[in-house]
Amino acid sequence: MRNYEYGDKWKCLLTPKIVAYLTAIHEFRGEQRLIADKHVDILVDLVQIAKIQSTGSSNRIEGICTSDAQLRKLVMDKIKPRSRDEREIAGYRDVLNTIHESYLHIPVKAAYILQLHRDLYKFEDSATGGHYKNADNVIEEEDGTGNKRVRFQTVPAWETKESVERLCEAYERIRDEEAADLLLIIPMFILDFLCIHPFRDGNGRMSRLWTLLLLYQAGYFVGRYISIEKLIEQSKDSYYEALAESSIGWHEEENDYAPFVEYLLGVVAAAYREFFDRTKTIVQYKLSKPDRIAEKIKNHIGIITKKELVQLFPDISQTTVQRALNDLVKAGKIIKIGGGRYTKYKWNWEDEQ
């Protein structure tokens, strides 16, 4: 059985690029804390949007989908799930809420991994949730022609329980020793969890939920406001490439954690940058939603569409965006170009002169 102790393994990860990520994230954490503590009320919308995006993205990575409208209603708990996909989405929503509300009270222990996995499947009438795999499984990949091949042979079923327990114990030991930066240890833990692949189903989603949980416990709260799962979905190919590269030689304890650590730190850094981009206008200028839209059009080079504005402001509804555009056109602040679905807008600089 593999030795899960981290010991000094993290020391070889201190490459210039990883150290640069660590330095940046440490600085970002301090800046974000100042903004979040001072403007809690302003950031409420970002929290809700991040929950919706995280739930949707993490499930879509595994091929579990519903419409955007249904997703929003499910995350806001306004409807009951009506299909298998929606039941699994609702389960993810509840585990995500548990992490948001109780992260300080969830020890890194095998029993809690099982409990959160059970809750992931709480709406399913199956024995999947909360139970380790009872048969060996593999990680497969499919090429462009539909041919599948085994990418990684996971830990056999009979070793799973003890492997997860040893993994959790190893994490707690190095965390308590305070010798290593947890930003290095968290990706190492997640990679080992995925290589164990302890469940018949739900391993990927559990790994992303535990990534968020461990970051929260270590004091990195950017995932509360910016969806880390969405950033992973957007870079899914890089995610799988890093995972594959770092798992080579894993059973022989010769694997290189660096590719996966570098990838995940890059995602966390990107989340912080997005947080500052989104809060810049809200926090620094405290503009209303229509004024934020006006400011964006004014500072945008060239023309812009309503669809682009909706994407830029996920916390502002399409109705509010359209109303703001209509008011700006009537006031002569912006110029409307075209009509229907091809409508575009630009700032009326002639009135500024």
Indicate the DSSP class of residue 156: -
Arithmetic mean of pLDDT, 109-128? 92
Q: Is the pLDDT of residue 126 over 60?
A: yes
Confidence of residue 320 (pLDDT cuts 50, 70, 90): very high
- At the fourth CATH level, the homologous superfamily of domain 9-282 is Fido-like domain (1.10.3290.10)
User: Residues 224-247: pLDDT tens digits?
Assistant: 999 999 999 999 999 999 999 999
Residues above pLDDT 90, as percent of the chain:
73
Arithmetic mean of pLDDT, 107-132? 93
Confidence of residue 121 (pLDDT cuts 50, 70, 90): very high
pTM: 0.81
Q: Top-level CATH class of 288-352?
A: mainly alpha
User: Residues 54-103: pLDDT tens digits?
Assistant: 999 999 999 999 999 899 999 999 999 999 999 999 999 999 999 999 99
Return the domain boundaries, the chain: 9-282, 288-352
Tokens 């990195």 belong to residue: 220
The Cα-based distances of 74 to 66, 94, 116, 317 in angstroms read 10, 10, 19, 17
Q: Report the alpha-carbon distance of residue 336 to residue 236 in Å, rounded.
A: 37
Residue 284 is predicted with a pLDDT of 53
Q: Are 279 and 32 in contact (CB under 8 A)?
A: no
